[in-house]
Structure 1
Amino acid sequence: MSHRETILLNINDNEANRYVVTRMLRAAGFQVREGGTGADALRLAAEVLPDLIILDVKLPDLNGIEVCRRLKAEPRTAGVAVLHLSANYIRPENKVEGLESGADGYLAQPVDASELLATVRSLLRMRRAEDEARAAAVQWKSTFDSLGDGVCLLDGSGRVMRANQALLQLLGLSEAQVLGRPFDALMRSAAGTEAELPPSCGAVLSCHEETEVSLGGRWYRVAANPVEGAEGTVVGAVRILTDITPRRELEDALRQRAADLAEADRRKDEFLAMLAHELRNPLAAITNALHLQAATQPESGESKSMRVMMRQSQHLARMVDDLLDVSRFNRGHIELRRAPVDLRQVVQHSVEARRRSLDEKQLHLEVALPASESLWLEGDATRLEQVVSNLLDNARKYTEPGGHVFVGVTVERRGQARQAVLRVRDTGIGMSPELRARVFDLFVQAQQQLARSSGGLGIGLTLVRRLVELHGGEVSAHSEGEGKGSEMVVRLPLEVAAQPAAAAPVQAAPSPGTEASLARRVLLVEDNEDTREVLRELLEMWGHRVEVAEDGFKGVELFPSLRPHVALVDLGLPGMDGFQVARRIRESEGGRDVFLVALTGYSGEHRTQAVEAGFNLHIVKPVKPDELERLLEQLP
């Protein structure tokens, strides 16, 4: 108990003895109240709640033994210390009886002052220590029970010694039902399963461990911590159960969201592939029809509108290709066909292919290539041309008429390593620092001052970066600011030994109309009517005999009677697809002799399947008429 001043009761029916004791206590600084009967002792104890009662054993009404029993039996006064003091009952058995009644000490009179004061102080210290321990226990239990996590203390056998209210509520049991039971049994009961639980839920006490368990439809993290005794021996353990259901629900929601996004991405890629296929069919019909019209017109009859249609159809085909390339990159479906490549030729081919579009916009083009420096590297020539072409298209797009475009290649050395540095520089609209930091990200475009006359999807530079990285290189963008032009710099590793194997001489293909030009029997299997009819007219114009089929079944039916030299088969046929057509033809009589060409709007997605089905060649729509014509002429 806590008082500003310690209060003592001195109960004695002998006034002289009572006076002497009171005087000694007051001289020592204690506050003392007096009484002469047992009734006084009980009344004053209830009123004052003293820290200590000095109680004479021999009293006129109730003896001190009975008074002590009553004090200890009353909860309000049970904590008051009692010191028996007697001049009559001084034998050992009297002392035993007094102490057995609940007294905390027993002295015989006459008592020495120092002994009395020392005993009083000792009993007060003991009582205060008990009070502090009791208060600490109450505080600890209040804290223990107020914890939101379920906590319990296990003994050395893994049985529950203490459990807080949160754990009891979690288990749905009373304290009596929990204490003394094995912790692992409680966990299995709460989980509703006999399955083996992790060690943190069992009787293993010596390890620090965490695990997660499902109890009653909610998830909990179970933390295990050993309790060590003397000499480091494990004498028990603490188990803490923390409700992590919100976190698990969030994780599940995030996983489901990731799965939904992956599914949406997969469907997007499927849509892009289907979109490309559907776009390439009309593109093929348009391109071939334009080519057919140009071939049948007088030499001077190619009109400006015809050139516009040809150029824009090619532009549309390139955008479709870029869109599909990005989709394949995202799915990891891009593979390089590596071979020794002369970067000089790659740049020259790309420049020539784009020179006309640059001239039409009245842009001055400057090309600077090293005259003698070797520019051989291991790479995919087609993909490298795509890099240079996209950089030139980007420069053309954002440079106003009358501007300047520079394309140059230099070689830098770092020890034995050599790298080619390709620079494409323009005097166009330039880039802000913010745009420069993300210009290679997907679907990023500059703010266009030309009312979007530049067009595009914002994917060209994304393809450039990814293709360059596949070749082991890097690309960077530079600009002094808006209106000050831009420079794209590509660095590619070159071969150390620049000695490419000599290429076998290639015989020039005979031109149409020469004696080497041969009429072929051609089977065309195509379900798109416009594409089918335009291709048929082109083939017949070149002098070939053509049979057409609008589906795979008819194509297989026509094959034995026609015995074609070449079969052009669309892969996306209804009913029987192109792969099945190829297999059926290869299995029929004469099927091993025909040259099978797969036509597809799905870009390179089905190239491997086409080869496995028996196709000799895989061509992506729209088919370039000059390439198809050259193919038919060069067949043996």
Structure 2
Amino acid sequence: MSHRESILLNINDNEANRYAVTRMLRAAGFQVLEGGTGAEALRLSLESRPDLVILDVKLPDLNGIEVCRRLKADPRTAGMAVLHLSANYIRTENKVEGLESGADGYLTQPVDSAELLATVRSLLRMRRAEEDARAAALQWKTTFDSLGDGVCLLDPRGRVMRANRAFVALLGLPEGQVLGHPFDALMRAAADSEAELPPSCGGLLTCREETEACLGTRWFRVAANPVEGEEGTVVGAVRVLTDITPRRELEDALRQRAADLAEADRRKDEFLAMLAHELRNPLAAIVNALHLAEATQLEGAESKAMRVMVRQSQHMARMVDDLLDVSRFNRGHIELRRAPVDLRQVVHHSVEARRRAFEEKELGLEVALPTASESLWLNGDATRLEQVVSNLLDNARKYTEPGGHVFIGVTVERGAQGREAVLRVRDTGIGMSPELMARVFELFVQAQQQLDRSRGGLGIGLTLVRRLVQLHGGEVSVHSEGEGRGSEFVVRLPLGAEQVVAAPEPEVRTANPEEPSSRRVLLVEDNEDTREVLRELLEMWGHEVQVAEDGFKGVALFPSLRPHVALVDLGLPGMDGFQVARKIRESEGGGDVFLVALTGYSGEHRTQATEAGFNLHMVKPVKPDELEQLLERLPG
């Protein structure tokens, strides 16, 4: 720090002595002012603000001892150094009195020039050091108080010995009630409850940690650090309180937003499940009505309109299935019904079910499967694997223009986990950009469509493909050379041992051919259209049918009808299908009836239906052929 040239004030009523001292000081380069009385000493000290006052003890008005006391008592002059000079008061007790009055030095006259100059320089150095210390302290305090964070210094007993304005303000106490008080006690007093208090480091000043505390309505991060003295000893501690209320509020808002999104997602899944269920009821009536209409037409009289309605109703049923499957995946309700599966048969069934659709769009379909001698058996869910293959074929058909070509083939390769089946579905369709390839398996992602959405779809088929493949321990990938250059999907699935595994026998027993095929059927269904169409189908197949529009009537009809089969909708008003099944099982003859659960909720209630007493669980719209075969194969 730079300093101005030192100013000295020489006060002495003896002119000779005053002259001699002034001459020595000026010869040494000092600027010197003079005075002969105590009053002049006080006046000149205020006016000139000297760095050092050389003050004779014996003065005509005020003695030097009293002048010194007044100088040190006045804040304006307290920082000046005072050196007593005396030719009369030279005893030890005189020197002690002078120093006790506040003087910084005491010399007797006559004084040696070298001793005087050395003492003056020593006192000036001391004063400059004090000025530097005061300036540094002021800078430190200014900086300390300008901090936005609350900062305090603790003594070895954990009491606050210094605190900046922010710390005092956040406690809401006068500074006098903060300094000297234990930090932990101040925090407890400022907190709303004991539960919001930060850890106190176990009373250890040596700890280094960060905690969070709530003081009133504000949240603070409390940082603790020790203050180390010489040789690493801990002489105190620092506590820094940073207001983190905006961050906490943002975190709370984000948590609430996440909770709201999770709730919205849950409600969305519930809505999708309910939507699929509600769509299944009219679909069931439409599909069964179309089947009934086909069955009652003359041979060869099937119209183009009828074929369109049948095909589109089947397409709608598949979309509803996919929609419900996505909802069930998101809720973790998808479970595989594993059994030995021949992948060759899965591909064959999927291809044959769609061959006519490919022909109608004038697409070439090439199938390449290994020879029958090569095993393609794996442990999986045949229905779900067929869903994978069907969705890939539907995707290829959708995005390939008429006249194009689609290839589906299976090969067997050796992978890191052993033998694996590699299914490839390749088309000459519109292809994909790199951006689309990176996202094609995400939910609701589709290639660019025209405004008429002529290709249709919901953008969920490939998402289901990936999730179902992953459930089977496999993986799926896609490759395209670019837009307009076709696409290829590759599915890899782990295979079992290289031997033919016998397929499990069907659960439903085969009827004795000699037994009559006519059955007594109880149909409990609240949807009027579905109920009437199913009744007509059942009667057309030669069965005796009684219908009930709710569970109460169904239970009431059972004793008189004593049906072979009861087809019961699960979503009945008043008494649901589970309750109906339990009531029937509890009644006389209830153990002999074959109970079939009809539901629009896919496989979600399968376990619950089994526990209620159902023998079979069928999803709407029930395929008429499957229902007819079921009734034919049941024992009499």
What's the TM-score once normalised by structure 2's chain length? Answer: 0.95
Name the CA shift for 1:204/1:51 in 2 (closer, same or farther; >3 Å).
same
Matching residue of 2:594: 595
| Deviation of the 1:509 alpha carbon | 9.8
- Give yes or no for contact 1:510–1:517 (8 Å, CA) kept in 2: no
- Give yes or no for contact 1:184–1:201 (8 Å, CA) kept in 2: no
**Per-residue Cα deviation, 1:428-477 (whole angstroms, up to 9, x for no partner):** 11111211111111111111358411100011111111111111221111
For the residues of structure 1 that align with 2:395 and 2:122, how far apart are their CA atoms?
96
- The residue type paired with residue 189 of structure 1 is A
Matches within 5 A, 1:25-64: 25-64=25-64
Matches within 5 A, 1:497-536: 497-503=497-503, 518-536=517-535
Name the CA shift for 1:596/1:365 in 2 (closer, same or farther; >3 Å).
same
For the residues of structure 2 that align with 1:558 and 1:86, how far apart are their CA atoms?
133
SS at 1:492 equivalent:
strand
- Give yes or no for contact 2:375–2:500 (8 Å, CA) kept in 1: no
Matches within 5 A, 1:89-168: 89-168=89-168
For this pair of structures, how many residues does the alignment match?
A: 634
Matches within 5 A, 1:394-543: 394-414=395-415, 417-449=418-450, 451-495=452-496, 497-503=497-503, 518-543=517-542
**Per-residue Cα deviation, 1:516-572 (whole angstroms, up to 9, x for no partner):** 551111000000001000000111111111000000000000001111110000000
Is 1:544 equivalent to 2:543 in the alignment? yes
Matching residue of 2:578: 579
Matching residue of 1:555: 554
- Bigger shift: residues 590-599 or 146-155: 146-155
Name the CA shift for 1:93/1:201 in 2 (closer, same or farther; >3 Å).
same
- Give yes or no for contact 1:153–1:163 (8 Å, CA) kept in 2: yes
| Deviation of the 1:415 alpha carbon | 6.1
| Deviation of the 1:201 alpha carbon | 7.5
Name the CA shift for 1:354/1:568 in 2 (closer, same or farther; >3 Å).
same
- Give yes or no for contact 2:191–2:197 (8 Å, CA) kept in 1: no
**Per-residue Cα deviation, 1:210-265 (whole angstroms, up to 9, x for no partner):** 22222212222222222334444433322222222111111111111111111111
For the residues of structure 2 that align with 1:120 and 1:138, how far apart are their CA atoms?
27
- Give yes or no for contact 1:151–1:166 (8 Å, CA) kept in 2: yes
SS at 1:199 equivalent:
coil
For the residues of structure 2 that align with 1:2 and 1:231, how far apart are their CA atoms?
33
For the residues of structure 1 that align with 2:597 and 2:507, how far apart are their CA atoms?
25
- Give yes or no for contact 1:511–1:517 (8 Å, CA) kept in 2: no
- The residue type paired with residue 177 of structure 2 is Q
Name the CA shift for 1:416/1:177 in 2 (closer, same or farther; >3 Å).
closer
- Bigger shift: residues 559-568 or 46-55: 46-55
- Bigger shift: residues 233-242 or 622-631: 233-242
Matching residue of 1:298: 298
| Deviation of the 1:296 alpha carbon | 0.9
For the residues of structure 1 that align with 2:507 and 2:568, how far apart are their CA atoms?
28
For the residues of structure 2 that align with 1:84 and 1:452, how far apart are their CA atoms?
106
**Per-residue Cα deviation, 1:244-302 (whole angstroms, up to 9, x for no partner):** 21111111111111111111111111111111111111100010011011111111111
| Deviation of the 1:604 alpha carbon | 1.2
Runs of 4+ with deviation above 4 angstroms: 504-512, 514-517
**Per-residue Cα deviation, 1:141-167 (whole angstroms, up to 9, x for no partner):** 222222222222222222222222212
- Give yes or no for contact 1:200–1:224 (8 Å, CA) kept in 2: no
Name the CA shift for 1:505/1:165 in 2 (closer, same or farther; >3 Å).
closer
Matching residue of 2:620: 621
Name the CA shift for 1:29/1:441 in 2 (closer, same or farther; >3 Å).
same
| Deviation of the 1:416 alpha carbon | 6.8
Name the CA shift for 1:58/1:632 in 2 (closer, same or farther; >3 Å).
same
- Give yes or no for contact 1:225–1:238 (8 Å, CA) kept in 2: yes
**Per-residue Cα deviation, 1:116-161 (whole angstroms, up to 9, x for no partner):** 1211111111111111222222222222222222222222222222
For the residues of structure 2 that align with 1:261 and 1:192, how far apart are their CA atoms?
32
For the residues of structure 1 that align with 2:148 and 2:358, how far apart are their CA atoms?
73
| Deviation of the 1:332 alpha carbon | 1.1
Root mean square deviation of aligned Cα? 2.2
For the residues of structure 2 that align with 1:276 and 1:358, how far apart are their CA atoms?
27
**Per-residue Cα deviation, 1:179-225 (whole angstroms, up to 9, x for no partner):** 22222222222224355844238734332222222221222222222
Consecutive unaligned residues in structure 2, runs of 5 or more: none
- The residue type paired with residue 633 of structure 1 is E
- Give yes or no for contact 1:509–1:633 (8 Å, CA) kept in 2: no
- Give yes or no for contact 2:511–2:633 (8 Å, CA) kept in 1: no
For the residues of structure 2 that align with 1:475 and 1:177, how far apart are their CA atoms?
70
Name the CA shift for 1:591/1:319 in 2 (closer, same or farther; >3 Å).
same
- Give yes or no for contact 2:595–2:615 (8 Å, CA) kept in 1: yes
| Deviation of the 1:494 alpha carbon | 2.0
Name the CA shift for 1:534/1:511 in 2 (closer, same or farther; >3 Å).
farther
For the residues of structure 2 that align with 1:559 and 1:630, how far apart are their CA atoms?
23
- How high is the sequence identity, in percent, across the aligned residues? 85
- Give yes or no for contact 1:521–1:562 (8 Å, CA) kept in 2: yes
- The residue type paired with residue 172 of structure 1 is G
- The residue type paired with residue 428 of structure 1 is G
| Deviation of the 1:96 alpha carbon | 1.1
Matching residue of 1:607: 606
**Per-residue Cα deviation, 1:366-419 (whole angstroms, up to 9, x for no partner):** 111122432222221111111111011001001110000011112222467122
For the residues of structure 2 that align with 1:553 and 1:257, how far apart are their CA atoms?
45
Name the CA shift for 1:517/1:510 in 2 (closer, same or farther; >3 Å).
farther
What's the TM-score once normalised by structure 1's chain length? Answer: 0.95
- Give yes or no for contact 1:218–1:245 (8 Å, CA) kept in 2: yes
- Bigger shift: residues 130-139 or 545-554: 130-139
Is 1:200 equivalent to 2:191 in the alignment? no
Name the CA shift for 1:489/1:478 in 2 (closer, same or farther; >3 Å).
same
- The residue type paired with residue 168 of structure 1 is V
- Give yes or no for contact 2:377–2:501 (8 Å, CA) kept in 1: no
| Deviation of the 1:331 alpha carbon | 1.1
Name the CA shift for 1:155/1:508 in 2 (closer, same or farther; >3 Å).
closer
- The residue type paired with residue 393 of structure 1 is D
For the residues of structure 1 that align with 2:396 and 2:231, how far apart are their CA atoms?
78
Matching residue of 2:19: 19
